[in-house]
Structure 1
Amino acid sequence: MVANLVEEETSNGGTHPLKFALWLIIISIIMMFAAFTSAYIVRRAEGNWLEYDLPSILIVNTVVIILSSVTMQMAYNAANKNNLSLLKVMLLLTLGLGTAFLIGQWNAWADLVNNNIYFGGQGSNPSGSFLYVLTGVHGFHLITGLIFIILVLTASFKYKVHSKKMLRIQLCTLYWHFLGGLWIYLYIFLRVNH
Protein backbone atom coordinates (compact mmCIF):
# COMPACT_ATOMS: atom_id res chain seq x y z
CA MET A 1 0.00 0.00 0.00
CA VAL A 2 2.81 2.43 0.88
CA ALA A 3 4.61 1.57 -2.39
CA ASN A 4 1.46 2.48 -4.34
CA LEU A 5 1.20 5.74 -2.44
CA VAL A 6 4.82 6.60 -3.29
CA GLU A 7 4.18 6.05 -7.00
CA GLU A 8 0.93 8.01 -7.13
CA GLU A 9 1.24 11.33 -8.90
CA THR A 10 -0.77 14.16 -7.46
CA SER A 11 -4.00 14.51 -9.37
CA ASN A 12 -4.62 18.14 -8.45
CA GLY A 13 -1.59 19.38 -10.39
CA GLY A 14 0.44 20.06 -7.25
CA THR A 15 3.95 18.86 -6.48
CA HIS A 16 4.37 15.31 -5.23
CA PRO A 17 5.52 15.28 -1.56
CA LEU A 18 8.66 13.30 -2.44
CA LYS A 19 9.61 15.82 -5.14
CA PHE A 20 9.10 18.63 -2.64
CA ALA A 21 11.24 16.78 -0.07
CA LEU A 22 14.00 16.22 -2.63
CA TRP A 23 14.01 19.92 -3.52
CA LEU A 24 14.35 20.76 0.19
CA ILE A 25 17.29 18.37 0.44
CA ILE A 26 18.93 19.90 -2.63
CA ILE A 27 18.46 23.43 -1.29
CA SER A 28 19.99 22.44 2.06
CA ILE A 29 22.99 20.86 0.30
CA ILE A 30 23.44 24.02 -1.79
CA MET A 31 23.40 26.11 1.38
CA MET A 32 25.95 23.83 3.03
CA PHE A 33 28.37 24.02 0.10
CA ALA A 34 27.84 27.79 -0.17
CA ALA A 35 28.93 27.99 3.47
CA PHE A 36 31.95 25.75 2.83
CA THR A 37 33.12 27.71 -0.19
CA SER A 38 32.55 31.05 1.55
CA ALA A 39 34.58 29.84 4.53
CA TYR A 40 37.30 28.70 2.10
CA ILE A 41 37.55 32.19 0.60
CA VAL A 42 37.55 33.93 3.99
CA ARG A 43 40.12 31.55 5.51
CA ARG A 44 42.41 31.80 2.47
CA ALA A 45 42.44 35.60 2.78
CA GLU A 46 43.66 35.34 6.38
CA GLY A 47 47.04 33.93 5.27
CA ASN A 48 49.00 30.84 6.31
CA TRP A 49 47.61 29.10 3.24
CA LEU A 50 49.60 26.29 1.64
CA GLU A 51 49.70 26.48 -2.15
CA TYR A 52 49.90 23.12 -3.94
CA ASP A 53 48.77 21.59 -7.19
CA LEU A 54 45.35 19.97 -7.23
CA PRO A 55 45.49 16.23 -7.97
CA SER A 56 45.39 15.79 -11.75
CA ILE A 57 42.81 13.01 -11.46
CA LEU A 58 40.16 15.62 -10.56
CA ILE A 59 39.80 16.56 -14.24
CA VAL A 60 39.30 12.88 -15.11
CA ASN A 61 36.67 12.67 -12.36
CA THR A 62 34.93 15.70 -13.83
CA VAL A 63 34.69 13.97 -17.22
CA VAL A 64 33.44 10.77 -15.51
CA ILE A 65 30.68 12.60 -13.61
CA ILE A 66 29.56 14.37 -16.80
CA LEU A 67 29.39 11.02 -18.62
CA SER A 68 27.41 9.56 -15.72
CA SER A 69 24.90 12.40 -16.06
CA VAL A 70 24.54 11.55 -19.76
CA THR A 71 23.90 7.86 -19.01
CA MET A 72 21.42 8.81 -16.26
CA GLN A 73 19.50 11.00 -18.69
CA MET A 74 19.52 8.15 -21.22
CA ALA A 75 18.08 5.86 -18.52
CA TYR A 76 15.32 8.39 -17.85
CA ASN A 77 14.55 8.68 -21.58
CA ALA A 78 14.51 4.88 -21.93
CA ALA A 79 12.01 4.57 -19.07
CA ASN A 80 9.83 7.24 -20.63
CA LYS A 81 9.79 5.25 -23.89
CA ASN A 82 9.29 1.89 -22.13
CA ASN A 83 12.66 0.63 -23.37
CA LEU A 84 13.27 -1.36 -20.20
CA SER A 85 16.39 -3.17 -21.37
CA LEU A 86 18.12 0.12 -22.25
CA LEU A 87 16.91 1.56 -18.94
CA LYS A 88 18.69 -1.20 -17.00
CA VAL A 89 21.88 -0.92 -19.07
CA MET A 90 22.05 2.85 -18.60
CA LEU A 91 21.40 2.58 -14.87
CA LEU A 92 24.18 0.00 -14.59
CA LEU A 93 26.52 2.27 -16.58
CA THR A 94 25.63 5.21 -14.34
CA LEU A 95 26.30 3.06 -11.29
CA GLY A 96 29.66 2.03 -12.71
CA LEU A 97 30.65 5.59 -13.61
CA GLY A 98 29.59 6.83 -10.17
CA THR A 99 31.71 4.14 -8.55
CA ALA A 100 34.63 5.06 -10.82
CA PHE A 101 34.23 8.68 -9.69
CA LEU A 102 34.48 7.64 -6.03
CA ILE A 103 37.56 5.53 -6.74
CA GLY A 104 39.05 8.55 -8.49
CA GLN A 105 38.35 10.70 -5.45
CA TRP A 106 40.03 8.12 -3.23
CA ASN A 107 43.06 8.23 -5.55
CA ALA A 108 43.03 12.03 -5.33
CA TRP A 109 43.20 11.74 -1.55
CA ALA A 110 46.08 9.26 -1.88
CA ASP A 111 47.85 11.80 -4.08
CA LEU A 112 47.36 14.46 -1.42
CA VAL A 113 48.77 12.19 1.28
CA ASN A 114 51.77 11.34 -0.94
CA ASN A 115 52.42 15.09 -1.15
CA ASN A 116 52.18 15.47 2.66
CA ILE A 117 48.83 17.28 2.53
CA TYR A 118 46.69 16.03 5.37
CA PHE A 119 43.31 16.64 6.97
CA GLY A 120 43.49 18.41 10.32
CA GLY A 121 45.94 17.58 13.07
CA GLN A 122 49.54 18.59 13.58
CA GLY A 123 51.44 19.52 10.45
CA SER A 124 48.30 20.06 8.40
CA ASN A 125 47.25 23.25 6.67
CA PRO A 126 43.70 24.61 6.30
CA SER A 127 44.00 24.52 2.49
CA GLY A 128 44.39 20.74 2.54
CA SER A 129 41.65 20.30 5.12
CA PHE A 130 39.22 22.31 3.00
CA LEU A 131 39.93 20.14 -0.02
CA TYR A 132 39.27 16.98 2.00
CA VAL A 133 36.02 18.42 3.35
CA LEU A 134 34.71 19.64 -0.01
CA THR A 135 35.50 16.39 -1.83
CA GLY A 136 34.55 14.18 1.12
CA VAL A 137 31.12 15.71 1.74
CA HIS A 138 30.40 15.62 -2.00
CA GLY A 139 31.55 11.98 -2.03
CA PHE A 140 29.15 11.17 0.81
CA HIS A 141 26.26 12.64 -1.15
CA LEU A 142 27.39 10.75 -4.24
CA ILE A 143 27.22 7.51 -2.22
CA THR A 144 23.61 8.35 -1.34
CA GLY A 145 23.00 8.90 -5.06
CA LEU A 146 24.48 5.48 -5.86
CA ILE A 147 22.19 3.89 -3.28
CA PHE A 148 19.26 5.70 -4.93
CA ILE A 149 20.35 4.31 -8.33
CA ILE A 150 20.54 0.79 -6.90
CA LEU A 151 16.98 1.15 -5.56
CA VAL A 152 15.71 2.38 -8.94
CA LEU A 153 17.61 -0.39 -10.74
CA THR A 154 16.08 -2.99 -8.42
CA ALA A 155 12.62 -1.53 -9.07
CA SER A 156 13.28 -1.64 -12.82
CA PHE A 157 13.92 -5.38 -12.63
CA LYS A 158 10.48 -5.70 -10.99
CA TYR A 159 8.89 -3.65 -13.83
CA LYS A 160 8.11 -0.78 -11.47
CA VAL A 161 9.88 1.84 -13.60
CA HIS A 162 8.29 2.66 -16.96
CA SER A 163 6.36 5.43 -18.71
CA LYS A 164 3.41 5.13 -16.33
CA LYS A 165 5.59 4.95 -13.19
CA MET A 166 8.23 7.62 -13.61
CA LEU A 167 8.46 9.09 -10.10
CA ARG A 168 11.43 6.99 -8.94
CA ILE A 169 13.49 7.66 -12.06
CA GLN A 170 12.51 11.35 -12.08
CA LEU A 171 13.71 11.85 -8.53
CA CYS A 172 16.88 9.83 -9.09
CA THR A 173 17.71 11.69 -12.31
CA LEU A 174 17.16 15.08 -10.68
CA TYR A 175 19.38 14.19 -7.73
CA TRP A 176 22.10 12.71 -9.93
CA HIS A 177 22.18 15.74 -12.24
CA PHE A 178 22.36 17.96 -9.18
CA LEU A 179 25.37 16.02 -7.84
CA GLY A 180 27.08 16.33 -11.22
CA GLY A 181 26.41 20.05 -11.36
CA LEU A 182 27.63 20.44 -7.78
CA TRP A 183 30.89 18.69 -8.63
CA ILE A 184 31.43 20.90 -11.70
CA TYR A 185 30.88 23.95 -9.48
CA LEU A 186 33.36 22.63 -6.89
CA TYR A 187 35.97 21.78 -9.51
CA ILE A 188 35.74 25.24 -11.12
CA PHE A 189 35.74 26.87 -7.68
CA LEU A 190 38.90 25.00 -6.70
CA ARG A 191 40.62 25.79 -10.00
CA VAL A 192 39.82 29.49 -9.72
CA ASN A 193 40.51 29.89 -6.00
CA HIS A 194 43.36 27.46 -5.46
Structure 2
Amino acid sequence: MANEQIKEHNSRIGVHPLKFSLWLIIISIIMMFAAFTSAYIVRREEGNWLEYDLPAILLINTVVIILSSVTMQMAHNAAKNNNLKLLKMMLLATLGLGIAFLIGQWNAWADLVQNNVYFGGSGSNPAGSFLYVLTGVHGFHLITGLIFVAITYFSSLKYKVHSKNMLRIHLCTTYWHFLGGLWLYLYIFLRLNH
Protein backbone atom coordinates (compact mmCIF):
# COMPACT_ATOMS: atom_id res chain seq x y z
CA MET A 1 0.00 0.00 0.00
CA ALA A 2 2.78 2.47 0.92
CA ASN A 3 4.63 1.77 -2.35
CA GLU A 4 1.43 2.41 -4.30
CA GLN A 5 0.98 5.74 -2.49
CA ILE A 6 4.58 6.77 -3.24
CA LYS A 7 4.16 5.84 -6.92
CA GLU A 8 0.85 7.71 -7.08
CA HIS A 9 2.38 10.74 -5.33
CA ASN A 10 5.37 10.58 -7.70
CA SER A 11 3.15 10.67 -10.77
CA ARG A 12 1.21 13.70 -9.50
CA ILE A 13 4.17 15.99 -8.80
CA GLY A 14 6.67 14.47 -11.21
CA VAL A 15 9.48 14.06 -8.67
CA HIS A 16 9.98 11.18 -6.28
CA PRO A 17 9.82 12.39 -2.65
CA LEU A 18 13.24 10.90 -1.88
CA LYS A 19 14.82 12.69 -4.85
CA PHE A 20 13.20 15.92 -3.71
CA SER A 21 14.53 15.37 -0.17
CA LEU A 22 18.03 14.68 -1.45
CA TRP A 23 18.03 17.88 -3.49
CA LEU A 24 16.89 19.84 -0.41
CA ILE A 25 19.81 18.35 1.53
CA ILE A 26 22.25 19.20 -1.27
CA ILE A 27 20.96 22.79 -1.47
CA SER A 28 21.33 23.23 2.30
CA ILE A 29 24.91 21.91 2.17
CA ILE A 30 25.71 24.28 -0.70
CA MET A 31 24.35 27.19 1.34
CA MET A 32 26.41 26.17 4.36
CA PHE A 33 29.66 25.97 2.37
CA ALA A 34 28.85 29.24 0.59
CA ALA A 35 28.58 30.84 4.03
CA PHE A 36 31.86 29.24 5.18
CA THR A 37 33.79 30.35 2.11
CA SER A 38 32.29 33.87 2.24
CA ALA A 39 33.30 34.14 5.90
CA TYR A 40 36.79 32.91 4.95
CA ILE A 41 37.20 35.72 2.40
CA VAL A 42 35.84 38.41 4.74
CA ARG A 43 37.99 37.29 7.68
CA ARG A 44 41.11 37.03 5.51
CA GLU A 45 40.73 40.66 4.45
CA GLU A 46 40.69 41.79 8.10
CA GLY A 47 44.37 40.91 8.51
CA ASN A 48 46.19 38.79 11.11
CA TRP A 49 46.06 35.90 8.62
CA LEU A 50 48.65 33.15 8.89
CA GLU A 51 50.23 32.24 5.57
CA TYR A 52 51.27 28.58 5.31
CA ASP A 53 51.51 25.93 2.65
CA LEU A 54 48.51 23.69 2.13
CA PRO A 55 49.34 20.03 2.79
CA ALA A 56 50.50 18.38 -0.44
CA ILE A 57 48.27 15.37 0.25
CA LEU A 58 45.20 17.51 -0.56
CA LEU A 59 46.09 17.19 -4.25
CA ILE A 60 46.33 13.40 -3.89
CA ASN A 61 42.97 13.42 -2.12
CA THR A 62 41.51 15.36 -5.02
CA VAL A 63 42.63 12.65 -7.44
CA VAL A 64 41.25 9.96 -5.09
CA ILE A 65 37.82 11.58 -4.88
CA ILE A 66 37.67 12.02 -8.67
CA LEU A 67 38.48 8.31 -9.07
CA SER A 68 35.76 7.45 -6.54
CA SER A 69 33.27 9.43 -8.62
CA VAL A 70 34.31 7.38 -11.66
CA THR A 71 33.80 4.08 -9.80
CA MET A 72 30.43 5.29 -8.48
CA GLN A 73 29.30 6.13 -12.00
CA MET A 74 30.49 2.72 -13.18
CA ALA A 75 28.40 1.13 -10.40
CA HIS A 76 25.36 3.11 -11.56
CA ASN A 77 25.92 2.05 -15.18
CA ALA A 78 26.40 -1.58 -14.10
CA ALA A 79 23.07 -1.51 -12.24
CA LYS A 80 21.36 -0.05 -15.30
CA ASN A 81 22.79 -2.92 -17.41
CA ASN A 82 22.06 -5.59 -14.75
CA ASN A 83 25.76 -6.37 -14.41
CA LEU A 84 25.45 -7.16 -10.71
CA LYS A 85 29.00 -8.46 -10.33
CA LEU A 86 30.48 -5.20 -11.65
CA LEU A 87 27.97 -3.22 -9.59
CA LYS A 88 29.21 -4.83 -6.37
CA MET A 89 32.87 -4.45 -7.33
CA MET A 90 32.48 -0.75 -8.15
CA LEU A 91 30.53 -0.04 -4.96
CA LEU A 92 33.34 -1.69 -2.96
CA ALA A 93 35.91 0.32 -4.93
CA THR A 94 33.99 3.51 -4.14
CA LEU A 95 33.93 2.59 -0.46
CA GLY A 96 37.67 1.90 -0.50
CA LEU A 97 38.48 5.17 -2.26
CA GLY A 98 36.19 7.10 0.09
CA ILE A 99 37.97 5.63 3.11
CA ALA A 100 41.34 6.41 1.49
CA PHE A 101 40.18 10.02 1.05
CA LEU A 102 39.29 10.27 4.76
CA ILE A 103 42.65 8.79 5.76
CA GLY A 104 44.30 11.35 3.49
CA GLN A 105 42.37 14.14 5.20
CA TRP A 106 43.51 12.84 8.59
CA ASN A 107 47.10 12.89 7.32
CA ALA A 108 46.57 16.46 6.05
CA TRP A 109 45.51 17.47 9.57
CA ALA A 110 48.58 15.74 10.99
CA ASP A 111 50.71 17.72 8.54
CA LEU A 112 49.05 20.94 9.70
CA VAL A 113 49.73 20.12 13.36
CA GLN A 114 53.35 19.30 12.51
CA ASN A 115 53.62 22.80 10.96
CA ASN A 116 52.05 24.42 14.06
CA VAL A 117 48.72 25.17 12.39
CA TYR A 118 45.98 24.45 14.91
CA PHE A 119 42.23 24.69 15.31
CA GLY A 120 40.96 27.21 17.86
CA GLY A 121 42.45 27.86 21.26
CA SER A 122 45.29 30.13 22.24
CA GLY A 123 48.11 30.46 19.77
CA SER A 124 45.91 29.46 16.83
CA ASN A 125 45.11 31.59 13.82
CA PRO A 126 41.77 31.89 12.00
CA ALA A 127 43.44 30.70 8.77
CA GLY A 128 44.12 27.29 10.27
CA SER A 129 40.72 27.10 11.96
CA PHE A 130 38.95 27.75 8.65
CA LEU A 131 40.91 24.97 6.95
CA TYR A 132 39.98 22.51 9.70
CA VAL A 133 36.31 23.53 9.50
CA LEU A 134 36.10 23.34 5.70
CA THR A 135 37.81 19.95 5.47
CA GLY A 136 36.18 18.60 8.63
CA VAL A 137 32.61 19.43 7.67
CA HIS A 138 33.21 18.03 4.18
CA GLY A 139 34.69 14.92 5.81
CA PHE A 140 31.57 14.52 7.94
CA HIS A 141 29.38 14.65 4.84
CA LEU A 142 31.69 12.17 3.13
CA ILE A 143 31.15 9.78 6.05
CA THR A 144 27.38 10.07 5.51
CA GLY A 145 28.02 9.35 1.82
CA LEU A 146 30.05 6.26 2.72
CA ILE A 147 27.18 5.02 4.88
CA PHE A 148 24.85 5.53 1.91
CA VAL A 149 27.23 3.63 -0.40
CA ALA A 150 27.51 0.80 2.17
CA ILE A 151 23.72 0.54 2.44
CA THR A 152 23.48 0.43 -1.35
CA TYR A 153 26.18 -2.25 -1.46
CA PHE A 154 24.37 -4.44 1.07
CA SER A 155 21.13 -3.91 -0.87
CA SER A 156 22.93 -5.09 -4.01
CA LEU A 157 23.87 -8.30 -2.20
CA LYS A 158 20.13 -8.93 -1.72
CA TYR A 159 19.48 -8.19 -5.43
CA LYS A 160 17.57 -5.01 -4.58
CA VAL A 161 19.62 -2.85 -6.96
CA HIS A 162 19.14 -3.51 -10.69
CA SER A 163 17.70 -1.98 -13.84
CA LYS A 164 14.13 -2.22 -12.56
CA ASN A 165 15.02 -0.80 -9.14
CA MET A 166 17.36 2.14 -9.74
CA LEU A 167 16.17 4.66 -7.15
CA ARG A 168 18.67 3.74 -4.42
CA ILE A 169 21.72 3.67 -6.72
CA HIS A 170 20.56 6.85 -8.47
CA LEU A 171 20.26 8.75 -5.18
CA CYS A 172 23.57 7.37 -3.96
CA THR A 173 25.34 8.32 -7.20
CA THR A 174 23.88 11.84 -7.18
CA TYR A 175 24.98 12.45 -3.59
CA TRP A 176 28.45 10.98 -4.18
CA HIS A 177 29.04 13.11 -7.29
CA PHE A 178 27.89 16.14 -5.33
CA LEU A 179 30.45 15.40 -2.59
CA GLY A 180 33.18 15.06 -5.21
CA GLY A 181 32.15 18.32 -6.86
CA LEU A 182 32.03 20.04 -3.47
CA TRP A 183 35.57 18.90 -2.71
CA LEU A 184 36.81 20.16 -6.09
CA TYR A 185 35.24 23.52 -5.32
CA LEU A 186 36.87 23.62 -1.87
CA TYR A 187 40.26 22.58 -3.18
CA ILE A 188 40.24 25.19 -5.96
CA PHE A 189 38.91 27.81 -3.53
CA LEU A 190 41.72 27.10 -1.06
CA ARG A 191 44.36 27.14 -3.80
CA LEU A 192 43.14 30.48 -5.14
CA ASN A 193 42.54 32.13 -1.74
CA HIS A 194 45.45 30.82 0.27
Regarding TM over 0.5, the answer is yes
Judged with a 3 Å threshold, the aligned counterparts in structure 2 of structure 1 residues 41 and 60 are, in CA distance, closer, same or farther, namely: same
Amino acid paired to 1:91? L
Residue 8 of structure 1 deviates from its aligned partner by: 4.9
Map 1:41-190 to 2 at 5 A. 41-190=41-190
Q: Which residue of 2 aligns with 1:23?
A: 23
Q: Which residue of 1 aligns with 2:38?
A: 38
Task: State TM-score, norm by structure 1.
Answer: 0.96
Q: 1:143 & 1:164 partners in 2: Cα distance?
A: 28
Q: Where do 4+ consecutive residues of structure 1 move more than 4 Å? A: 4-9
Structure 2 gap ranges (5+)? none
Q: 1:18 & 1:128 partners in 2: Cα distance?
A: 37
Q: 1:133 & 1:69 partners in 2: Cα distance?
A: 23
Aligned to 2:11, the other structure's residue is in SS state coil
Amino acid paired to 1:90? M
Judged with a 3 Å threshold, the aligned counterparts in structure 2 of structure 1 residues 167 and 138 are, in CA distance, closer, same or farther, namely: same
Judged with a 3 Å threshold, the aligned counterparts in structure 2 of structure 1 residues 24 and 83 are, in CA distance, closer, same or farther, namely: same
Q: 2:113 & 2:176 partners in 1: Cα distance?
A: 29
CA contact (8 A) 2:152 2:168 kept: yes
Judged with a 3 Å threshold, the aligned counterparts in structure 2 of structure 1 residues 129 and 6 are, in CA distance, closer, same or farther, namely: farther
Amino acid paired to 1:19? K
- Count residues in correspondence: 193
CA contact (8 A) 2:6 2:16 kept: no
Residue 19 of structure 1 deviates from its aligned partner by: 0.3
- Taking only aligned residues, the RMSD between alpha carbons, in angstroms, comes to 1.6
Structure 1 gap ranges (5+)? none
Cα deviation, 1:72-121, whole Å, max 9, x if unaligned, reads 00000000000000000000000000000000000000000000100000
Aligned to 1:11, the other structure's residue is in SS state helix
CA contact (8 A) 1:7 1:167 kept: no
Q: 1:119 & 1:90 partners in 2: Cα distance?
A: 36
Judged with a 3 Å threshold, the aligned counterparts in structure 2 of structure 1 residues 180 and 5 are, in CA distance, closer, same or farther, namely: farther
Aligned to 2:130, the other structure's residue is in SS state helix
Residue 5 of structure 1 deviates from its aligned partner by: 6.6
Judged with a 3 Å threshold, the aligned counterparts in structure 2 of structure 1 residues 77 and 114 are, in CA distance, closer, same or farther, namely: same
Residue 11 of structure 1 deviates from its aligned partner by: 3.5
